[in-house]
């Protein structure tokens, strides 16, 4: 398990899938805001590719997020679109509604950054998030990510186009940050 200050990132367990689906993806609004594709219901027991980990896929690494104190499952995190040639990847995470607003997102971004740079030897990490996702923007910036641009009206969400913010962090910037 990768450990932060308040959260741990561990391998996805089979018993995590039902709770992750219920907390993160059965909610139409939350599911629509977190996916690039339109929301659709998933039949219970189906092999939902967002949740079932394919250990043979070298381009994506999925984690379950747990609270270190108590070990409760509180969300999902991943490093996706891993490009071993350019040594880059994207960060994604989703916290259960009950876990939001407690600083866990900032800790998850820190742990994923450590994994990407120290463990995987990547050169660049990137985050794309909706422009109105203040919590994700704050979590990224607290970890040294820099706003690199706005993709205007690039995300179709619940009947409207929304802007996305692109943030990036380079390995040298991450290494030079105070501990």
Mean pLDDT of the 67-82 span? 97
Q: What is the pLDDT of residue 42?
A: 80
How confident is the model over 1-24, as pLDDT tens digits? 999 999 999 999 999 998 998 898
pLDDT category of residue 131 using cuts at 50, 70 and 90: very high
Question: d(Cα 116, Cα 108) in Å, to the nearest integer?
Answer: 12
> Would you state the structure tokens that stand for residue 122, as one six-digit string?
């990547």
66 forms beta bridges with: 8, 73
Longest dimension (CA), the chain: 46
CB-based burial label for 35 (10 Å; 0-12, 13-18, 19+): middle
pLDDT category of residue 32 using cuts at 50, 70 and 90: confident
Spans of all domains in the chain:
2-175
Percent of all residues in the chain with a pLDDT value above 70, rounded to a whole number: 99
Q: What is the pLDDT of residue 179?
A: 66
Helix (H) and strand (E) counts for the chain? 5, 8
- What is the third-level CATH fold of 2-175? Aminopeptidase (3.40.630)
Q: What is the pLDDT of residue 147?
A: 98
Percent of all residues in the chain with a pLDDT value above 90, rounded to a whole number: 77
pLDDT at 47 over 90: no
pLDDT category of residue 112 using cuts at 50, 70 and 90: very high
pLDDT at 116 over 80: yes
pLDDT at 48 over 80: no
| Averaged pLDDT score across all residues of the chain | 93
């Amino acid at each position: 398990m990768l450990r932060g200050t308040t959260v741990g990132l561990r391998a996805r367990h089979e018993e995590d899938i039902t709770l992750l689906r219920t907390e993160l993806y059965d909610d139409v609004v939350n599911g629509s805001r977190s996916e690039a594709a339109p929301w659709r219901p998933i039949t219970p027991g189906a092999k939902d590719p967002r949740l079932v980990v394919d250990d043979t896929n070298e381009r994506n690494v999925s984690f379950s997020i747990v609270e270190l104190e108590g070990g409760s499952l509180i969300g999902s995190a991943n490093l996706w679109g891993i490009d071993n040639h350019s040594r880059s990847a994207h960060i994604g995470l989703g916290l259960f509604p009950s876990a939001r607003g407690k600083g866990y997102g900032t800790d998850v971004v820190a742990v994923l950054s450590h994994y990407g740079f120290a463990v995987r030897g990547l050169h660049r990490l990137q985050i794309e998030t909706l422009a109105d996702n203040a919590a994700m923007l704050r979590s990224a910036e607290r970890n040294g990510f820099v706003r690199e641009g706005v993709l205007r009206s690039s995300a179709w969400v619940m009947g409207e186009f929304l802007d996305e913010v692109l943030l990036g962090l380079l390995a040298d910037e991450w290494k030079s940050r105070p501990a």
